[in-house]
Amino acid sequence: MPSLEQARAWYPPQDPVHGFDHVLRVLELAERLGRGLGADLEVLRAAALLHDAAGAAPAPAAAAAAEQTEQAGGRATHELDSADFARSVLQAEGWPAERIEAVTHCIRAHRFRGAEGPSTLEAQVLFDADKLDVLGAFGVARTLGYALQAGQSFFAEPSARFLETGALEPGEPHSAYHEYLFKLRHVSGRLHTEPARRLAERRHAVMKAFFEQLAAEAHGDV
**Interaction site with Fe ion (CB under 5 A):** 52, 130
Closest approach of Fe ion to the CB of residue 84, in Å: 14
Closest approach of Fe ion to the CB of residue 220, in Å: 36
Do 178 and 157 touch, CB atoms closer than 8 A? no
Closest approach of Fe ion to the CB of residue 190, in Å: 15
* Closer to Fe ion by Cβ: residue 52 or 67: 52
Give the contacts of 180 (CB within 8 A, at least 6 positions apart): 143, 207, 211
* Closer to Fe ion by Cβ: residue 29 or 100: 29
Closest approach of Fe ion to the CB of residue 107, in Å: 8
* Closer to Fe ion by Cβ: residue 16 or 173: 16
* Closer to Fe ion by Cβ: residue 75 or 204: 75
Tell me how far apart the alpha carbons of residues 183 and 151 are, in angstroms, rounded to a whole number.
Answer: 19
Closest approach of Fe ion to the CB of residue 210, in Å: 20
* Closer to Fe ion by Cβ: residue 52 or 128: 52
